[in-house]
């Protein structure tokens, strides 16, 4: 199967690496010049659980020419529209496209480029990091929940599930994936932005009663807006899940902290808390916590002169 990874940062490298190892024909697409140069010169280097070094094909998205059987989107959320524009030439009538980005509402962007029966939406708890250009940090294991966006695409998605499972990616075909996507967004919406703003680890943030109050208010806003949008969410179950993740991930700085505080990169806030605030406005639901957190992250992006 000809597979393109559209956005080959940390997660794109993980998925591309595992799929190539399992025998698939994988091409990484990316726009970061140093990363492309490093992989072209030295191959993709893996550090972490099972160190490795493998040659991999990588190029800029506009350089890809052959129509894809399968594309996995792994840009940061704000890079998604330009990536889809840059890969138009490899999207055929039968090209399946899987979105595993964190955040909400990506289906609205993707359906402008891809037929609904070819869109797969999902969520993953696999993780990855980048040590530098061409060097991915792969630790731990994960799973993926995914579903065809349109019921007509469910049957033809089975092959994709099989290919990914052959690569050890642990895919579950989910008959209703949106609640899982929103649940993950709640995790990101309570930990990412808050730890970036407070400049602390997840464990440090969740250790204070004031912070826990904020966490509960954010989850409440996500659930009110999600339920009003027709997503089946159980607020108590989500609170328990977020608390559980906060314990497992306690020593870590979440990715938004890494992006904003450590690397001075733009954040995905508009697709997490910001998406809930925007949708809340349309539905007439107040979301003061999500709105304020979004505003504060944007303020920080401006202070750092990256916005
Ligand atoms: P990433 O930041 O590693 O890569 C995204 C893009 O940014 C890539 O095109 C990459 O080349 C580019 N990039 C990265 N560092 C750069 C630098 N220093 N200079 C210039 N360009 C750079 O993002 P990711 O962690 O792979 O995440 C992709 C998507 O998956 C996001 O929506 C994220 O929220 C989600 N996600 C990430 C993880 C994780 O553990 N990293 C887990 C689940 C979901």
Closest residue by Cα to atom 41, ligand 1, is 128
Ligand 1 binding residues, C-beta < 6 A: 7, 9-12, 30, 32, 35, 74-77, 101-102, 124, 127-128, 130, 255, 268
pLDDT at 152: 87
The percent of residues in the chain predicted with pLDDT above 70, rounded, is: 100
State the DSSP code for 49: S
pLDDT at 151: 87
Look up the ipTM and state it: 0.99
Question: Own/partner pairs for 163-169, CB < 8 Å, 24+ apart?
Answer: 163/1, 163/3, 163/19, 163/22, 163/24, 163/70, 164/19, 166/22, 166/23, 167/15, 167/18, 167/19, 167/21, 167/22, 167/24, 168/18, 168/22, 169/15, 169/18, 169/19, 169/126, 169/142, 169/144
Closest residue by Cα to atom 34, ligand 1, is 102
Ligand 1 centroid from CA 10, angstroms: 5
Told to judge if 184 belongs to the known catalytic residues of this protein, a careful annotator would answer: yes
Ligand 1 centroid from CA 278, angstroms: 24
Give the predicted TM-score (pTM) of the model: 0.97
Q: Report helix, strand or coil for 47.
A: strand
Q: In this predicted model, what pLDDT tens digit does every residue of 32-57 receive, in sequence order?
A: 999 999 999 999 999 999 999 999 99
- Sheet containing 70-73, strands listed edge to edge, beginning at the edge strand earlier in sequence: 57-59, 25-29, 2-6, 70-73, 96-99, 119-124, 144-148, 171-173
User: Which segments in the chain show pLDDT lower than 70?
Assistant: none
Catalytic residue among 184, 282, 300, 305: 184
Q: Say how far apart CA 76 and CA 78 lie, in whole Å.
A: 6
Q: In this predicted model, what pLDDT tens digit does every residue of 229-263 receive, in sequence order?
A: 999 999 999 999 999 999 999 999 999 999 999 99
Closest residue by Cα to atom 21, ligand 1, is 32
Q: Say how far apart CA 259 and CA 177 lie, in whole Å.
A: 27
Q: Say how far apart CA 127 and CA 175 lie, in whole Å.
A: 24
């Amino acid at each position: 199967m000809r597979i393109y990874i559209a956005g080959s940062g940390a997660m794109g490298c993980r998925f591309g690496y595992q799929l190539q190892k399992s025998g698939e024909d994988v091409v990484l697409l990316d726009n970061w010049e140093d990363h492309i140069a490093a992989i072209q010169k030295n191959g993709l280097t893996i550090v972490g659980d099972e160190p490795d070094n493998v040659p991999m094909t990588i190029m800029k998205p506009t350089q890809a020419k052959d129509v894809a059987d399968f594309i996995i989107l792994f840009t940061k959320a704000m890079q998604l529209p330009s990536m889809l524009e840059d890969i138009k030439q490899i999207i055929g009538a039968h090209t399946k496209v899987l979105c595993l980005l964190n955040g909400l509402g990506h289906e609205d962007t993707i359906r402008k480029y891809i037929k609904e029966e070819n869109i797969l939406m999902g969520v993953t708890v696999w993780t990855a990091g980048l040590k530098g250009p061409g060097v991915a940090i792969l630790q731990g294991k994960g799973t993926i929940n995914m579903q065809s966006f349109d019921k007509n695409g469910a049957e033809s998605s089975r092959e994709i599930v099989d290919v990914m499972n052959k690569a050890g990616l642990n895919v579950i075909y989910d008959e209703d994936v949106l609640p899982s996507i929103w649940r993950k967004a709640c995790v990101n919406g309570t930990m990412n932005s808050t730890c970036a703003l407070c400049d602390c680890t997840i464990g440090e943030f969740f250790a204070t009663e004031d912070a826990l109050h904020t966490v509960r208010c954010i989850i409440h806003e996500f659930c009110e807006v999600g339920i009003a949008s027709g997503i089946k969410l159980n607020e108590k179950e989500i609170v328990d899940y977020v608390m559980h993740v906060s314990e497992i991930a306690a020593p870590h700085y979440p990715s938004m902290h890494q992006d904003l505080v450590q690397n001075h990169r733009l954040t995905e806030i508009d697709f997490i808390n910001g998406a809930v605030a925007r949708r809340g406005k349309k539905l007439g639901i107040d979301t003061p916590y999500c709105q304020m957190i979004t505003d504060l992250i944007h303020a920080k992006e401006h202070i750092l002169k990256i916005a």
